[in-house]
Amino acid sequence: MTSTSASGQGAEYAATASEAYQAALRVIESVEPRVADATRKELADQRDSLKLIASENYASPAVLLTMGTWFSDKYAEGTVGHRFYAACQNVDTVEALATEHARELFGAPYAYAQPHSGIDANLVAYWAILATKVEAPGLAELGAKHVNDLSEADWEKLRAKLGNQRLLGMSLDTGGHLTHGFRPNISGKMFHQRQYGTNPETGFIDYDAVAAAAREFKPLVLVAGYSAYPRRINFAKMREIADEVGATLMVDMAHFAGLVAGKVFTGDEDPVPHAHVTTTTTHKSLRGPRGGLVLATEEFAPAVDKGCPMVLGGPLSHVMAAKAVALAEARQPEFRTYAQAVADNAQALADGFVKRDAGLVTGGTDNHLVLLDVTSFGLTGRQAESALLDSGIVTNRNAIPADPNGAWYTSGIRFGSPALTTRGFGTDEFDRVAELVVEVLSNTQPAAGPNGPSKAKYTIADGVAERVHAAASELLDANPLYPGLTL
């Protein structure tokens, strides 16, 4: 086992995990063998590809096995010690453990482990902010202490207040997320929204421009965080901007939570001490199950605790149990080694692209992701993504600032270092990955469709995909996924 691996804890661990998975698959096979076959094939496919999707990782066998338990059978609406179903004492235990680990890991006064995803976590956060900053004062203005005291006319007034709030978030094409106020998303419909971008010359966030937009727009919520911005954020500056205009600072750290947990991001770059509310997923760089968390100051804790029934239905108890296991793993010293390696490897990948004259948004990275502008290769993002997949390299196309090809075809490819770092890749291997990517893209050409030029069709020079796939397999064989685990 490498110092960065979540794949096991030695031969005995791997042997025990193998026995568990073999037994589980035999049971599944007895009912629906096609599902068992697809499960085995999924592991084989993941073992045989360079996974460079920034939002994906590999959870440990302990985390994965935790999700396949009897907790899946439980309904547990409510909160710890205050459920609307009987016999939830064991759910209370695992949820309390998940929130305890989250508080200790991130240094947060309050944590909520029930969101099913990052989007759910953001919705809980938004409504908690509305309930705390608008609904509670609105009730007082209407002479009511509780919503049950409101008449229908009062409700109309309160709904108007709740529905006429403002949100300022990072634009999608400069690295923000759908849930940061993108108009077609529910977040762009809940709020009057405006979006800030990046400096068109450097690609970096311009804090003076954000401050100017906040002074003019006066948002209730200022959202910081990203899904495709390859740089760090100064959250102390974002909090100063929020405080100046009376906004609530909400940070979505879903992508870089592992770098916060692993103390790669500290001080002004650690969002938790500066944000009123912080949301995250528990997979991605945090290397846990698919799910979400909300961290908050005590001011917002009562409203966040009402995530169910406000936004959520029954919490997924088996996933909360897996969150507890993953967060316990992240509290170990080895996780800090892993997190630093994630950042170092992303830097090596970026440097590998730069020295091979491949254009990068912002010219590099200082987090876990790299955004490659593929227009220099004469390709769209979709063509590049497909050509790389043919060559055994799994990525995702992504828009770049002012993207001429829009959000579907795009002009960029997003790369992330967390998954291959989990496999044990180091800086030399990531430089080699950059070399393989450039080899594929340099030998890929757009192809015409039936009606002329196509943004999707492409051709790869003979033998290139096979040669690169073989080279990728050499790297993968030297850094096996879940070593010792056999199905």
Cα–Cα distance measured from residue 289 to residue 282, given in angstroms and rounded to the nearest whole number: 6
- Which residue among the candidates 51, 231, 239, 284 is catalytic per the annotation? 284
Catalytic (active site) residue 344:
no
- Which residue among the candidates 198, 279, 281, 444 is catalytic per the annotation? 281
Cα–Cα distance measured from residue 468 to residue 436, given in angstroms and rounded to the nearest whole number: 6
Tokens coding 99: 């929130």
Cα–Cα distance measured from residue 183 to residue 185, given in angstroms and rounded to the nearest whole number: 5
- Which residue among the candidates 40, 157, 290, 306 is catalytic per the annotation? 290
Catalytic (active site) residue 290:
yes
Catalytic (active site) residue 75:
yes
Cα–Cα distance measured from residue 408 to residue 398, given in angstroms and rounded to the nearest whole number: 8
Catalytic (active site) residue 252:
yes
Long-range (24+ apart) CB contacts under 8 A made by 78-81 are 78/308, 79/305
- Which residue among the candidates 48, 77, 92, 366 is catalytic per the annotation? 77
- Beta strands 444-449 and 166-170 are unpaired
Strand ranges across the sheet with 277-281: 110-112, 292-296, 277-281, 248-252, 221-225, 166-170, 192-196
- Which residue among the candidates 40, 75, 92, 157 is catalytic per the annotation? 75
H helices present in 202-332, as ranges: 207-217, 235-245, 257-261, 301-304, 307-310, 317-330
Cα–Cα distance measured from residue 231 to residue 203, given in angstroms and rounded to the nearest whole number: 9
Supply the DSSP string of 7-41, one letter for each residue.
S-SSHHHHHHHHHHHHHHHHHHHHH-HHHHHHHHH
Catalytic (active site) residue 403:
no
Reduced to 3 states, what is the DSSP secondary structure of residue 270? Answer: coil
Residue 315 and residue 308 in contact, taking contact as beta carbons nearer than 8 Å = yes
- Give CA separation, 118 vs 162, 194, 238, 248, in Å: 22, 21, 21, 19
- Which residue among the candidates 95, 173, 252, 305 is catalytic per the annotation? 252
Sequence-distant (≥ 6) Cβ neighbours of residue 30 within 8 angstroms: none
Tokens coding 385: 């993504």
Name the residues annotated as catalytic: 75, 77, 252, 281, 284, 290
